[in-house]
Amino acid sequence: MRAWIAAVWALGLAPVAVSGQNAAAPDTPPPSAASSSIAATHTTGQDTVALTFDDLPGLTLLRSQAYIDHSNQMLLLGLARNHLPAIGFVNEGKLDEGHRARQIGNLKAWIKAGMDLGNHTYSHESPNTMSARAYIADIARGERVTRPLLARHHKTLTWFRYPYLETGKTLQEKEAIQTWLTDHGYRIAPVTMENSDWLFAEPYDDAIAHHQADRVRRIRAEYLAYTETMVGWYQDAGHNLLGRPMAFVMLLHVTRLNADCLDGVDAILQRHGLKPVKLEEAMKDPAYATPDPYVGPDGIEWLERWSMTLRKNQPWAGFIEPPADIEAEYKKVDNDLSDGTGPIVSRLKH
Ligand SMILES: [Zn+2]
């Protein structure tokens, strides 16, 4: 294990100091021609968005319970500060990857803050890698803590989010999973807006761990600029598909990056006229009754699924990939960890 990892452990919340240095710097992305031209076309204020955070209690490169706890606390404070309702999708398999009581404490903190919780399977596996029966067992195993926690607060576990957005590689498997979910009172939480936040989050953790304040600031700026672009692209795609404003469901992850950038993300939503709503409110949009005909191994979002039903093309020509330097940094962090001795807790996406 490299020295800096031990340093992060030893210092506990030392990375917070990096955040403090940046507190004065507003989370405003640099202007970019692509994002501003897209943003300018969406000021109607008629769209809504539900924020959903996957991989609770946290997606992080760093093996530090203090870091995970801090990310949850800052994220919840940011949600409250910006009056943003949200739901967190739990991987109960993560409870034992850290300090179990403190990991459960993070789930409780979400409920206490008025947020909802959903099931994201126990182990974050894909239906592509196991039978439907095994996948269903993994879903059932993923509610043992979350369901009673919600019940104690007079809430019912309702929402399920597919890891990697992979819904079954054959029709038989897809339907078996869906039938089980319906029979057990679950509703599927689709995704109709995302920003590849997971790709930025690991280089960001790495920058914080190395106390690279300039790199921390750069990744934040690149993340917010890309988020602005993607929010505009998904609005375009949704309007193009439906011919009207719609209620979006945005996929994010419980990361230090989002904890530190939430004010910036909120500003982007405001600039794009997206009113924050709860997931159950967004799901009242009749668009969510559109059949999802996709069967296969790919993890694709729901606008693309509906585009198959409605036989309309997505505006792929305007789609912008994440910045190349972020891709490279992600791969580097990934490669650095491939010897198995790195600080990785998980590399879960979606
Ligand atoms: Zn996930």
Local confidence band at 337 (pLDDT 50, 70, 90 cut-offs): low
* Interstrand relation of 116-119 and 86-90 (parallel, antiparallel or unpaired): parallel
pLDDT surpassing 50 at residue 9? no
Q: What is the pLDDT of residue 334?
A: 76
Look at residue 13 and tell me whether its pLDDT is greater than 70.
no
Query: 65-81 vs 100-112: helix axis angle to the nearest 10?
Result: 0
Pull the structure tokens for residue 187: 């509703």
Yes or no: say if 71 and 254 are a contact pair by the CB < 8 Å rule: yes
Contact 279, 116 (CB under 8 A): yes
pLDDT bin (cut points 50, 70, 90) of residue 4 is very low
> What's the gap in Å between 185 CA and the centre of ligand 1?
21
The yes-or-no verdict on residue 18 having pLDDT over 50 is no
Tell me, in angstroms, the distance from the centre of ligand 1 to residue 199's CA. Answer: 12
Of 201 and 8, more confident? 201
**Cβ-contact 62, 287 below 8 angstroms:** no
According to DSSP, the β-strands at 193-194 and 247-253 are parallel
Statement: residue 21 has pLDDT above 90: no
| Cβ 253 vs Cβ 204: under 8 Å | no
Contact 68, 346 (CB under 8 A): no
What was the pLDDT predicted at 5?
A: 31
Residues with CB under 5 A from ligand 1 (ion): 54-55, 163, 350
For the cut 60, the answer to whether the pLDDT of residue 321 exceeds it is: yes
**Nearest by Cα to 123 from 107, 134, 132, 111:** 134
CA of 33 to the centre of ligand 1 (A): 32
CA of 243 from ligand 1 middle (Å) equals 30
What mean pLDDT is predicted for residues 11-20? 33
Residue 78 pLDDT greater than 80, yes or no: yes
Q: Is the pLDDT of residue 178 over 80?
A: yes
Q: Which residues contact 74 (CB under 8 A, 6 or more apart)?
A: 19, 256, 259, 260, 262
Please tell me the predicted confidence (pLDDT) of residue 63.
87
The mean pLDDT value for 334-340 works out to 56
Alpha-carbon span 179 to 190, nearest angstrom: 16
Ligand 1 centroid – CA 21 distance (Å): 30
Q: Give the residue among 172, 92, 160 at the shortest CA–CA distance from 132.
A: 172
Q: By C-alpha distance, which of 275, 317, 287 is closest to 43? A: 275
Work out the pLDDT band at 346, boundaries 50, 70, 90: very low
The CA–CA distances, whole Å, from 282 to 78, 81, 115, 189, 294 equal 21, 21, 15, 10, 22
Q: Strand, helix or coil at 203?
A: helix
User: Where do the H-state alpha helices sit in the chain?
Assistant: 3-11, 15-22, 33-39, 65-81, 100-112, 132-141, 146-152, 171-183, 197-209, 213-242, 256-271, 279-282, 302-310, 324-336
Count Cα atoms within 13 angstroms, Cβ side, for 116.
Answer: 22
Q: What is the mean pLDDT of the chain?
A: 87
Q: Which helix (H) or strand (E) holds 47?
A: strand 47-56
Task: Classify 175 as helix, strand or coil.
Answer: helix
pTM of this structure: 0.85
Ligand 1 centre to CA of 349 (Å) is 5
- d(CA 236, CA 243) in angstroms, rounded, equals 10
CB 269 within 8 A of CB 89: no
Residue 341 pLDDT:
41
| pLDDT at residue 45, rounded to an integer | 54
As a whole number, mean pLDDT of residues 28-44 equals 38
More confident residue, 166 or 17: 166
For the ranges 41-45, 79-83, 296-300, 303-307, the lowest mean pLDDT is seen at: 41-45
Domain spans, the chain:
42-343
pLDDT classification of 335: cutoffs 50, 70, 90: low
Q: What does CATH list as the number for 42-343?
A: 3.20.20.370
Distance 163 CA to ligand 1 centre (A): 5
Express each pLDDT in 273-296 by its tens digit: 999 999 999 999 999 999 999 999
pLDDT score recorded for residue 271: 97
Cα distances from 303 to residues 111, 211, 272, 296, in angstroms, run 30, 39, 18, 16
Average pLDDT over residues 302-321: 96
> Lowest-confidence range among 5-19, 42-56, 144-158?
5-19
pLDDT reported for residue 216: 98
